[in-house]
């Protein structure tokens, strides 16, 4: 079956941040320097070729953009300044918009004004709604417990509703991702057992980000700073998510410090703060190759995250310091960042937190199923003539 | 025996000969021959001391002829003939025995090789005993030149000759000058206007008083030889003087090419699908200033297909050389006229060999051309698209770099048709007596060292009638041909080699067998005397006529029967 060429694809990807892809002449230097590319998953050269040729279907079914953590060595080595690193990044953005069945992600990526309007509207609705609720039902002087301005039970309910919506959206998107990637990834149907067997890869990659650690180009640093800061953001974010969803009432209790939960909260905040500041600083200074070019959605992601972290810390400090009114105002401000952030999630860069470990999981399955295909005992059962 | 004081010189050629052949033994053997006056061996006979040694011996020993046993006569016969000439002997009193290429280089057994060297040397000795003094002679060179074909090559050659002050007759079949270039819009890679190039040439040709432009005219006959050709011209419009015969000294053939007929490749649908067009159809569109489909719409997708008729087993195996850069030129012209248009370029190999070509290729990729590579013996298929598609046609092909079978959308497909030799090339070749290769292109005297001359003296070839080439190469060839001719004209006379065949009129029966056999058309037939006559200036001394003459009436100078029989006798020892 022939694949249709879409000559417009290269222009479309430019809206997602790719640049100068047309300069590539396929020398393969990028794939040679990449610490992750191997015989089975060849990149960036191969997806670059798909993009140049406008093979939309092929690119949509590509797993390789997710295997790249953007160390930027490919872009440094590229003799034609075709920016393979940034191209892989733009492909991830494009894939997020492809996995999303609603089309909202595409809108956000194509129009920064649309995204900004969405965030501002949700933030204002949140601010107005929560203020109205607090002023009518609660007391601005009470932070926690009966009569609180924003009772934990209310926020908890909203959180759970949002979680349900997000889980539904992400589940559908992940199913689409599975279909795109696994449909023709293997020659023979993949046994279900293999899916179970490789399930352990999900937590391993999620919590260790160990492939990112390999991105240190010269392997000269004992601790690879971009990896550590990225890990700080991921683990900090995950910890905060667990704390808020499961232990919100204990988190909000006070003004005494609740060490059993707050200790984790502090550690998570440190991770998030350092990680966010490091990346923001990098993108502003453009000091490293992977931070040279920023898409509008990158800025939205980082500033929103930074805003949430800072307002969350301020709110916490004010509460503990005995200023419940100020703490309540900071809390509303904090939630004005959180709700747009959460609603934006399945349509944005944030979704890579889910897609990337799943991609590693799929890669593990594809790798093993290819090894099985080569094993002789497996092929014999297909030698039976069709009766 | 005419010559009885022979000097025999055995060359060691460093160790090339001496490592296998016992040169001293050969020298001793030669010295025993009664007519040999002196025998010497030397390390390098062709070196200055070697040459001086021979010249000195000629004087001191009063030699009347010389044998040099050394390398191939192709290498140094001229050298040793010159030595004889400077020493006062007739240069033809020299013969060479090739004991290097024919002996030391090809054998392993030293004793046998030495015996063979002796035999070859003896053959040369016996031959040179019968050598006769021959005189070179010269003929007058007519300073006019005939240029056949008024394209960029013909006009350039004509201008070069005319501006040096010599008359030129420029014969063009069509009613205008300019040739194929008049069908072109811009030129690659600098995107200069072809019209400007050609207008400048035409104006200068028309203004030059030394150039007689004959439009609507054809050369019907060409007789004679270098320096003295008579051309019969058929003029389209009768001239006042009505003179149809012109005298010229040299001829430049610059008849150009024609394009490959794309309809010969059925799966491209040329002639059936309205928006499948050739590069020349597209040039016409560009010159009219509007790129549009047959239905008058602006195309959204344009696909350019390279190597149509070129580099294939069925049609032409050769590369047409100009199409790759022309295709890239189209991309630039399309992108500047319709910035939103997407252009796909299907190539086999991108031949960007010339000056500025690689930069041009890079610039073309920078404007986001979709470059797709297909295999040399692949058949891209062009078909009509479905009504639901957003394009007119689909090209299906195996893309080589990705290994995928792909479908390319197109509203317009441009077929880069290659160059072919013209239908009348065979007729022209016969007219001026030159050869064609298997593809119909005219053959040069030597593809590397003598690219614009032909095997017929006085006939030069330039431009795309020789092989596909671009404008710079064509112009360079035209100027080279003109320079060669100017070199000949400036001497006023032309020296003819003394080695040629002669007919003994008393023995010629007038059977005309030789007339047909001569590969150089050097034999005329005198209708009055009923005898064949050889034009010595044209004869290359190949010996065909000598061998074929049933009356034994033809003698090859310097290759007489006696000389050859003597040589054979010598080889047999």
Instruction: Give the model's pLDDT for residue A210.
Output: 87
Please answer yes or no on whether B409 and A26 come within 8 Å at the CB atom: no
Q: Give the DSSP letter string of A344-358.
A: HGGGSGGGHHHHHHH
Interface of A with B in 4-63 (CB under 8 A): 4-8, 10-11, 22-23, 25-26, 49-50, 52-55, 58
Give the pLDDT score at A371. Answer: 84
Per-residue pLDDT, averaged over A27-52, amounts to 92
**Percentage, residues of chain B above pLDDT 70:** 99
Q: For all residues of chain B together, what is the average pLDDT?
A: 94
The pTM score is 0.82
| CB pair distance less than 8 Å for A5 and B409 | yes
Interval A106-131 mean pLDDT = 96
| pLDDT tens string B143-194 | 999 999 999 999 999 999 999 999 999 999 999 999 999 999 999 999 999 9
Question: What architecture is the B6-134 domain classified under in CATH?
Answer: 3-Layer(aba) Sandwich (3.40)
CB contact under 8 A, A22 and B408: no
**pLDDT band per the 50, 70, 90 thresholds, residue A89:** very high
Cβ within 8 Å of B, A 363-382: none
Long-range own/partner contacts, residues A375-384 (CB < 8 A, 24 or more apart):
A378/A188, A382/A188
Look at A7 and B344 and tell me if their CB atoms are within 8 Å: yes
Reply yes or no on whether the pLDDT at B396 is more than 60. yes
Rounded to a whole number of angstroms, the distance from the CA of A2 to the nearest CA of chain B is 5
Q: For residue A381, what pLDDT is reported?
A: 43
Tell me the angle at which helices B110-129 and B23-31 cross, rounded to the nearest 10 degrees.
40
pLDDT reading at A39 higher than 90: no
Beta carbons of B407 and A2 less than 8 Å apart? yes
A22 CB neighbours in chain B (<8 A) are 365-369
- Provide the CATH number for the domain formed by B145-256+422-493 in this structure: 3.50.50.60
The CATH architecture of the domain made up of B497-557 is 2-Layer Sandwich (3.30)
For residue A147, what pLDDT is reported? 86
**Helix (H) / strand (E) containing B145:** strand B145-148
- pLDDT of A386 strictly over 80: no
Q: Using one digit for the tens of pLDDT, what is the confidence trace for A171-213?
A: 999 999 999 998 877 667 888 899 999 999 999 999 998 888 8
B470 CA: distance to closest CA in chain A (Å): 26
Nearest by CB to residue B365, choosing from A1, A4, A22, is A22
Give the 3-state secondary structure of residue A56.
helix
What's the rounded mean pLDDT across residues B373-393?
93
Please report the pLDDT score of residue A384 as a whole number. Answer: 42
pLDDT band at B54 (very low <50, low <70, confident <90, very high): very high
The answer to whether the CB atoms of B368 and A25 lie below 8 A apart is no
pLDDT per residue as tens digits for the range A233-263? 999 999 999 999 999 989 988 788 999 999 9
* pLDDT over 90 at B324, yes or no: yes
Chain A contact probe: residue of B383, B406, B411 with most A CBs at under 10 A: B406
Query: What's the rounded mean pLDDT across residues A339-362?
Result: 94
Please name each of the domains of chain A with its CATH number.
9-99 (1.10.1060.10), 104-370 (no CATH)
pLDDT band at A146 (very low <50, low <70, confident <90, very high): confident
Task: Specify the pLDDT at position B44.
Answer: 97
Residue range B503-517: mean pLDDT, rounded:
93
Q: Which residue has the tokens 């190539």?
A: B347
**Where would I find the H helices in B235-317?**
279-288
- The pLDDT, as a whole number, for residue A253 is 87
Q: State yes or no: pLDDT of A376 exceeds 80.
A: no
Domain boundaries, chain B: 6-134, 145-256+422-493, 262-416, 497-557
Given a cut of 70, is residue A287 above it in pLDDT?
A: yes
d(CA B514, CA B547): 9
Q: Nearest-CA neighbor of A155 among A124, A129, A135, A122?
A: A129
How far is the alpha carbon of A53 from chain B, nearest alpha carbon, in Å?
6
Contact B365 A25 (CB under 8 A): yes
Kindly state the average pLDDT of the residues B231-239: 81
| pLDDT at A153 exceeding the cut of 50 | yes
The answer to whether A189 contacts chain B (CB < 8 Å) is: no
Q: A82 to chain B nearest CA, in Å? A: 10
Looking at residue B465, the DSSP 8-state letter turns out to be G
ipTM of this predicted complex?
0.83
CA A189, chain centre distance (Å) = 29
- Contacts B372 to A, Cβ<8 Å: 5, 53
**Band (B109; pLDDT cuts 50, 70, 90):** very high
Across the range B85-110, mean pLDDT stands at 96
Chain-chain contact of B370 with A25 (C-beta, under 8 angstroms): no
User: Contact B254/B462 with Cβ under 8 angstroms?
Assistant: yes
Superfamily of domain B262-416: FAD/NAD(P)-binding domain (3.50.50.60)
Q: How confident is the model at residue A378 (pLDDT cuts 50, 70, 90)?
A: very low
Distance in angstroms between the alpha carbons of the first and the last residue of chain B? 18
**First vs last Cα of chain A: how many Å apart?**
26
Give the minimum alpha-carbon distance from A172 to chain B in angstroms, rounded to a whole number: 29
The pLDDT value given to residue A138: 87
Domains B145-256+422-493 and B262-416 share a fold: yes
B374-383 CB burial, b ≥16 within 10 A, e <16:
beeeeebebe
Please tell me the distance from the alpha carbon of residue B166 to that of residue B488, in angstroms, as a whole number: 12
Would you state the pLDDT for residue A387? 40
Predicted confidence at residue B237, as pLDDT, reads 67
pLDDT of residue B239: 57
- Whether residues B408 and A55 touch (CB distance < 8 A) is answered with no
């Amino acid at each position: 079956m022939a694949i249709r060429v879409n000559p417009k694809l290269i222009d479309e990807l430019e809206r997602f941040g790719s640049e100068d892809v047309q300069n590539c002449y396929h020398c393969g230097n990028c794939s040679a320097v990449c610490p992750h590319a191997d015989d089975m998953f060849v990149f960036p050269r191969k997806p670059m070729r798909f993009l140049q040729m406008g093979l939309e279907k092929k690119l949509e079914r590509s797993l390789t953009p997710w295997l790249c953590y953007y160390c930027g060595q490919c872009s440094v080595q590229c003799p034609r300044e075709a920016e393979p690193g940034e191209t892989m990044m733009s492909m991830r953005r494009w894939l997020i918009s492809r996995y999303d069945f609603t089309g909202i992600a595409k809108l956000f990526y194509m129009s920064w004004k649309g995204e900004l309007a969405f965030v501002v509207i949700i933030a204002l609705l949140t601010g107005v709604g929560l203020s109205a609720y607090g002023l009518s039902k609660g007391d601005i002087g009470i932070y926690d417990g009966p009569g609180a301005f924003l009772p934990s039970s209310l926020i908890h309910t909203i959180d759970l509703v949002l979680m349900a919506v997000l889980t539904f959206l992400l589940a559908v998107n992940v199913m689409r991702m599975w279909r795109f990637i696994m449909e023709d990834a293997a020659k023979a149907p993949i046994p279900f057992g293999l899916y179970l067997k490789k399930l352990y890869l999900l937590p391993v990659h999620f919590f260790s980000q160990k492939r990112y650690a390999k991105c240190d180009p010269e392997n000269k640093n004992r601790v690879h700073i971009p990896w550590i800061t990225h890990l700080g953001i991921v683990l900090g974010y995950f910890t905060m998510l667990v704390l808020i969803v499961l232990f919100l009432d204990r988190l909000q209790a006070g003004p005494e410090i609740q060490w059993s939960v707050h200790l984790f909260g502090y550690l998570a905040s440190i991770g998030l703060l350092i990680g966010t500041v490091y990346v923001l600083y990098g993108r502003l200074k453009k000091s490293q190759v992977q931070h040279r070019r920023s898409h509008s959605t990158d800025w939205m992601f980082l500033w929103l995250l930074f805003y949430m972290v800072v307002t969350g810390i301020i709110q916490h400090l004010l509460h503990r310091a005995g200023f419940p009114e100020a703490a309540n105002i900071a809390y509303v401000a904090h939630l004005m960042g959180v709700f747009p952030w959460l609603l934006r999630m399945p349509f944005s860069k944030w979704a890579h937190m889910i897609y990337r470990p799943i991609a590693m999981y799929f890669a593990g399955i594809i790798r093993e199923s290819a090894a099985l295909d080569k094993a002789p005992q497996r092929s014999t059962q297909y030698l039976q003539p069709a009766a | 025996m005419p010559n009885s004081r022979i000097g025999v010189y055995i060359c060691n050629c460093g160790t090339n000969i001496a490592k296998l052949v016992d040169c001293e033994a050969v020298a001793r053997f030669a010295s025993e021959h009664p007519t040999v006056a002196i025998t010497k061996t030397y390390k390098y006979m062709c070196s200055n001391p070697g040459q001086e040694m021979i010249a000195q011996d000629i004087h001191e020993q009063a030699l009347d002829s010389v044998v040099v046993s050394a390398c191939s006569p192709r290498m140094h016969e001229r050298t040793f003939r010159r030595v004889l000439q400077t020493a006062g002997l007739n240069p033809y009193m020299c013969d060479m025995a090739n004991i290097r290429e024919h002996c030391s280089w090809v054998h392993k057994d030293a004793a046998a090789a030495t015996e063979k060297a002796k035999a070859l040397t003896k053959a040369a000795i016996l031959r040179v005993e019968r050598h006769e003094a021959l005189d070179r002679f010269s003929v007058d060179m007519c300073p006019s030149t005939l240029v056949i074909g008024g394209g960029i090559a013909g006009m350039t050659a004509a201008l070069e000759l005319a501006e040096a002050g010599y008359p030129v007759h420029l014969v063009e079949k069509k009613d205008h000058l300019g040739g194929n270039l008049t069908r072109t819009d811009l030129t690659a890679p600098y995107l200069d206007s072809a019209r400007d190039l050609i207008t400048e040439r035409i104006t200068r040709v028309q203004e030059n008083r030394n150039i007689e432009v004959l439009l609507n005219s054809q050369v019907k006959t060409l007789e004679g030889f270098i320096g003295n050709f008579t051309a019969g011209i058929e003029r389209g419009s009768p001239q006042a003087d009505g003179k149809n015969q012109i005298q010229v000294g040299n001829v430049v053939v610059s008849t150009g090419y024609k394009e490959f007929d794309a309809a010969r490749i059925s799966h491209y649908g040329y002639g059936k699908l309205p928006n499948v067009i050739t590069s020349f159809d597209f040039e016409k569109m560009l010159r009219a200033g509007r790129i549009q489909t047959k239905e008058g719409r602006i195309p959204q997708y344009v696909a350019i297909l390279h190597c149509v008729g070129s580099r294939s087993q069925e049609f032409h195996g050769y590369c047409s050389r100009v199409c790759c850069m022309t295709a890239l030129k189209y991309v630039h012209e399309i992108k500047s006229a319709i910035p939103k248009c997407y252009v796909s370029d299907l190539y086999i190999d991108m031949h960007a060999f010339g000056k500025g070509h690689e930069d041009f290729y890079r610039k073309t990729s920078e404007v986001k051309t979709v470059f797709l590579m297909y295999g040399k013996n692949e058949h891209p298929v062009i078909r009509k698209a479905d009504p639901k598609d957003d394009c007119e046609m689909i090209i299906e092909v195996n893309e080589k770099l990705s290994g995928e079978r792909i479908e390319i959308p197109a509203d317009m497909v441009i077929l880069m048709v290659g160059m072919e030799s013209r239908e009348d090339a065979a007729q022209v070749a016969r007219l001026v007596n030159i050869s064609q290769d298997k593809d119909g292109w005219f053959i040069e005297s030597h593809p590397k060292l003598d690219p614009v001359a032909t095997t017929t003296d006085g006939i030069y070839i330039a431009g795309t009638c020789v092989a596909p080439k671009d404008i710079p190469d064509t112009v360079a060839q035209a100027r080279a041909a003109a320079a060669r001719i100017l070199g000949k004209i400036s001497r006023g006379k032309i020296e003819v080699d003394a080695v040629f065949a002669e007919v003994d009129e008393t023995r010629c029966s007038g059977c005309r067998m030789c007339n047909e056999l001569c590969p150089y058309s050097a034999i005329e037939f005198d209708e009055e005397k009923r005898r064949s006559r050889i034009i010595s200036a044209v004869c290359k001394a190949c010996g065909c006529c000598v061998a074929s003459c049933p009356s034994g009436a033809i003698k090859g100078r310097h290759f007489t029967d006696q000389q050859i029989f003597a040589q054979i006798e010598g080889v047999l020892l």
